[in-house]
Chain A
Amino acid sequence: MLYREAGDFKTSYQKDSQTFPLKFDRMGYWTVMVVAFLVVPFVINDYWANAVAVPFLIYAIAALGLNILTGYAGQVSLGTGGFMAVGAYACYKLMTMFPEVSMLVHVVLAGGITALVGVLFGLPSLRIKGFYLAVATLAAQFFLVWLFNKVPWFYNYSASGQINAPERTVFGIIVTGPNTEAWAKYLFCLIFVVVLAWIARNLTRGMTGRKWMAIRDMDIAAEIIGVNPLMAKLTAFAVSSFFVGIAGALFFSIYLGAAEVGEAFGIQKSFLILFMIIIGGLGSIFGSFAGAAFMVLMPVFLKNVLVGGLGWPTDLAAHLEFIIVGGLIVVFLILEPHGLAQLWRLTKEKLRLWPFPH
């Protein structure tokens, strides 16, 4: 009897910490996975890959990374663009130094290098908080962009100052350079997204995530119950930068193919990713995806419907985009800091109880 009960306990806790406790959600998840891996690669074309799928996947990784640091650990960062640049330039150097090595390795290593740089810039976070930390990360942003512009070694002394992704492969399949097929770009990014989202989920449901959230919610109490604040913050910076670095590496090598640091990884990029997690939902994995999808799809949607469909001038549509994003940021910050993710949760709760509201 006792044995059986002990066994039961375990399975019930295991069930309890499941990512999708509801069967309906689990089915939804698997449906998405099947479609993403077994359907999309066969139907995707260049337009959908370049305009929607690839940027969405890459931004989702960056948003996950920033959400770990800001949404979970409460450390505001305006340096996301700069850290993406670290990933991009690390990847570029690795690609040109070790041409025969798999792209998979380059991208992961680029993430690792960015993690180290992130830890370095995270060190001041023990002393400075909130607004001042945001300013410090802003300084990191400008410093990193300046660095990659000023030191020719980073762009292999090319005359244009740009970095260009040469053709590289994974298991013999071309994933970078002009000859890459749409499905290969898409699938390569998808694999990173799935693995990284799974890692983010695991870290945030366990003790590391709890330490991050404890620091976020009340740092003094966290320290008094035993959280080492420096360790908690530095692991957040490391993991976050690992994600952001991978996003930067993919953004350069798979999506852009050629990049100039100020243009590709400037301060606008930092704000874009920050907007994604605010609109999608701070401290939510799903929110990172929702925010990335929103910010990628909205301009595409506006362009197709307003410019293509209704014949609006392009600049008017672009202005409308600014107004919508600005308005939403204000609305979400004031009314619903947990963003689209929370709206989705509330909708599901309503649906679950329907038609009996009590």
Chain B
Amino acid sequence: MNDMSADSYVTEDGRTIGGVVMEMKNITLRFGGVVAIKDISFDIREGEIRAIIGPNGAGKSSMLNVISGFYKPQEGEVMYRGEKRPPMKPYQVAQQGIARTFQNIALFDGMSVLDNIMTGRLNSMNASLLSQAVWWGKAQKEEFENREKVEKVIDFLEIQAIRKTPVGRLPYGLKKRVELARALAAEPSLLLLDEPMAGMNVEEKEDMSRFILDVNDEFGTTIALIEHDMGVVMDLSDRVVVMDYGKKIGDGTPDEVRNNQDVIDAYLGVAHD
């Protein structure tokens, strides 16, 4: 697995994993004296589910924020589809087809579930202000076309019943699902999920795992996810990066990582205490 050739391969369950889509090269990120990420390199391949695990404060969320363009690393490069990515604003990264969810749910509380998910479509909608002001022509056409796509996501995630509910009123588990819906509505080529199952009960976790697998399987979406639950990670992911105190201490298939002594000491050991 350490051979990072661009050749694609087929997984045991029959999905095709392609070449490298995103490559993080020697990333170092500091906040004043705190080194959140220390010289980390890893890659994400087309169509795979890539997990990032590690104890609290290891720098996992910071890594997703670097990919999102929200944090600017002091050192290192982000390669996207074979090219060095120039410094970008987060909204420009989103326009490149990278969508995400957040560790602490970041929905728009004053808006309905439907409007929240519709915001996921904003990169594909560009009717002029004038057309929108008179609700005529392109604006209206675009609105209905994109609404149709959003309805498909709503069906897919089985949240039809709460369409019109203001998100502020939803329970935690459903909020997580709506946030996933908003990210999926963007039809991303790379989906970043920051602890999508944190704080969920077993049943909710099973639902969420199923959705993640289905998204990957049906739409071929590449997924990078941060997760604490080792069982879930082992079941879901094709490859795992393990972080501890800002450093990478393991990288490979779930089995390889499970048997890596550093990882056992740093993370699994702690987790099984």
Contact = CB atoms under 8 A, between A and B. Distances in A.
Contacts of A14: 144
B18 interface: no
Contacts of B122: 207, 210-211, 225-227
Interface stretch (B3-11, B50-58, B91-99, B222-230): B91-99
Given A224-B70, A225-B186, A226-B91, A206 B132 contact: yes
B252 interface: no
A220 interface: yes
Nearest to B94: A226
A283 interface: yes
A224 B115 contact: no
Contacts of B135: 202, 205-206
A216 B123 CA distance: 19
A206 B144 CA distance: 10
A317 B133 CA distance: 42
A93 B90 CA distance: 44
Which of A208, A213, A226, A227 has the most chain B CB within a 10 Å cutoff? A226
B125 interface: yes
B68 A210 contact: no
A139 B188 CA distance: 43
Given A218-B106, A221-B108, A207 B91 contact: no
Interface in A9-30: 9-10, 13-14, 16-17
Interface string B68-96: 10100000000000000000011101110
Which of B93, B121, B123, B132 has the most chain A CB within a 10 Å cutoff? B132
Nearest to B108: A217
A207 B132 CA distance: 8
Interface string A19-53: 00000000000000000000000000000000000
B256 interface: no
A13 B111 contact: no
Nearest to A213: B111
Which of A210, A220, A224, A235 has the most chain B CB within a 10 Å cutoff? A224
Contacts of A199: 133-134
B104 to A, nearest CB: 10
B110 interface: yes
B3 to A, nearest CB: 34
B129 interface: yes
Contact of A224 (B90, B111, B127): B90
A225 B107 CA distance: 11
A214 to B, nearest CB: 5
Which of B70, B93, B99, B135 has the most chain A CB within a 10 Å cutoff? B135
B119 A225 contact: yes
Contact of B95 (A17, A208, A214, A226): A226
B159 interface: no
Contacts of A216: 108, 110
Contact of A203 (B100, B118, B132, B183): B132
B55 to A, nearest CB: 25
A221 B119 CA distance: 11
A202 B89 CA distance: 29
Contacts of B134: 199, 202
Contacts of A10: 144
Contacts of A217: 107-111
A235 B128 CA distance: 11
A161 interface: no
A226 B106 contact: no
B148 interface: yes
Which of A214, A220, A221, A222 has the most chain B CB within a 10 Å cutoff? A221
A86 B80 CA distance: 48
Contacts of B110: 213, 216-217, 283
10 contacts: A9-B144, A13-B144, A16-B147, A17-B147, A206-B139, A213-B108, A214-B111, A218-B108, A226-B186, A227-B122
Interface of B: 68, 70, 89-91, 93-95, 99-100, 102, 106-111, 115, 118-123, 125, 127, 129, 132-135, 139, 142-144, 147-148, 182-183, 186
Given A202-B133, A221-B102, 8 more contacts: A17-B147, A202-B134, A202-B139, A205-B135, A217-B110, A224-B70, A225-B100, A227-B91
- 6 closest A-B pairs by CB: A226-B94, A221-B106, A217-B108, A202-B135, A224-B90, A226-B123
